């Protein structure tokens, strides 16, 4: 049986855990060679080792996505290690303690959140797009969030603003690069049972407040997002660009009215 990403090369940022690790394992199982990128060296190397142990191909690289020189080196690594780039998954992101409403969120939290979640995606595309062009096209997937479509019940204004920006960038990138064979889509997870969110929703009260809005009544799993990313990365999504695929247990369906 042909693997869905056979002979493809994928960069995954934020590969050290959560959605990034789950996607690295999923992509590798479908034949892709993986450049696993993260600032957390130990966690990232653990992801690489899991891919290798499962019979896949992967190389780890430490990358701060806010630094252009490191992002450029990440893309160069895909071309030098595996011969090119076909899939760029801009997944690295933060949800920082202290992110609150507009009145109380410290400026440093705003700056750091926007630098990683927005500038990081933009830099990924700055260096990733030319590599995809050299390959004759490919797929870019950006991790947004359900909060790009609805407000968060627990205030997190910097994170919400950053994910709205990711969604807007995705649409523009899709339009600009459509004739170059480059598809650009977003995946918007709902509340997931990841370390990132569980550290933010650090009390039962906060977790219950989030779950009450989810029709399915549970947190999602990283694997459920990885499966959607796999579709967007594959040729099965050949006529899908500029889309935002919600993986949110029905959350936004319960609150967003059609325009």
Mean pLDDT within 240-259: 87
Between these two residues, 85 and 208, which has the higher pLDDT value?
A: 85
Instruction: Identify the structural domains of the chain with CATH numbers, from first to last.
Output: 9-191+223-246 (3.40.50.720)
Tokens, residue 239: 């006529």
pLDDT at 210: 75
Q: What is the pTM of this model?
A: 0.94
What are the residue numbers of the active site?
A: 159
* pLDDT score at 195: 78
d(CA 175, CA 161): 22
The whole-number pLDDT of residue 21 equals: 98
Q: Average the pLDDT over 152-179 and give the result.
A: 96
Dmax over CA atoms of the chain, in Å, equals: 56
The mean pLDDT value for 124-142 works out to 98
The Cα–Cα gap between 248 and 256 comes to 13
* CB proximity list for 89: less than 8 A, separation 6 or greater: 10, 11, 12, 13, 20, 23, 140, 141, 143, 229, 233
Q: Is the confidence at residue 123, as pLDDT, over 80? A: yes
Burial of 65 (0-12, 13-18, 19+ CB in 10 A): buried
pLDDT at 129 over 80: yes
What's the confidence (pLDDT) of residue 117?
98
Position 258 pLDDT exceeds 60? no
DSSP assignment string, 23-78 = HHHHHHHTT-EEEEEES-HHHHHHHHHHHHHTT-EEEEEE--TT-HHHHHHHHHHH
Give how far Cα 188 sits from Cα of 12, 36, 66, 131, 163, Å: 16, 21, 21, 25, 9
The more confidently predicted of residues 1 and 225 is 225
Confidence of residue 73 (pLDDT cuts 50, 70, 90): very high
Grade residue 256 by pLDDT with cuts at 50, 70 and 90. Answer: low
| pLDDT in the model for residue 198 | 77
How, if at all, do strands 182-189 and 33-38 pair?
unpaired
* Average pLDDT rounded to a whole number, residues 55-65: 98
pLDDT at position 193 is: 85
Instruction: Give pLDDT, residue 259.
Output: 54
pLDDT at 243: 98
Mean residue pLDDT of the chain comes to 95
Q: Answer for the pair 97, 199: CB distance below 8 angstroms, yes or no.
A: yes
Average of pLDDT values for 24-51?
98
**Among residues 223, 220, 227, which one has the least CA distance to residue 249?**
220
pLDDT at 257 over 70: no
Flag whether pLDDT at 67 surpasses 90.
Answer: yes
d(CA 105, CA 159): 11
Matching residue, tokens 């693997």 = 3
CB count in 10 Å sphere of residue 99: 25
- Rounded to whole angstroms, the Cα distance separating 98 from 105 reads 6
């Amino acid at each position: 049986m042909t693997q869905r990403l056979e002979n493809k090369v994928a960069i995954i940022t934020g590969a050290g855990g959560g959605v990034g690790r789950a996607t690295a394992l999923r992509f590798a199982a479908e034949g892709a060679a993986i450049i696993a990128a993260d600032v957390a060296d130990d966690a990232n190397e653990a992801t690489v080792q899991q891919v290798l142990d499962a019979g896949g191909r992967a190389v780890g690289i430490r990358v701060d996505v806010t630094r252009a020189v490191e992002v450029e080196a990440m893309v160069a690594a895909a071309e030098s290690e595996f011969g090119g780039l076909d899939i760029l998954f801009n997944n690295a992101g933060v949800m920082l303690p202290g992110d609150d409403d507009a009145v109380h969120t410290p400026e440093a939290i705003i700056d750091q959140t926007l630098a990683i979640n927005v500038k990081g995606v933009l830099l990924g595309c700055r260096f990733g797009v030319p590599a995809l062009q050299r390959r004759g096209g490919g797929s870019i997937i950006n991790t947004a969030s359900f909060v790009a479509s609805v407000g968060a019940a627990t205030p997190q204004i910097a994170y919400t603003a950053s994910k709205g920006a990711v969604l807007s960038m995705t649409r523009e990138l899709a339009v600009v690069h459509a004739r170059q064979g480059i598809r650009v889509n977003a995946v918007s997870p709902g509340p997931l049972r990841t370390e990132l969110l569980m550290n933010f929703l650090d009390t039962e009260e906060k977790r219950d407040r989030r779950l009450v809005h989810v029709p399915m009544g549970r947190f999602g799993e990283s694997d459920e997002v990885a499966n959607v990313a796999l579709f967007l990365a594959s040729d099965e999504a050949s006529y899908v660009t500029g889309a935002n695929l919600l993986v949110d247990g029905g959350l936004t369906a319960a609150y967003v009215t059609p325009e």
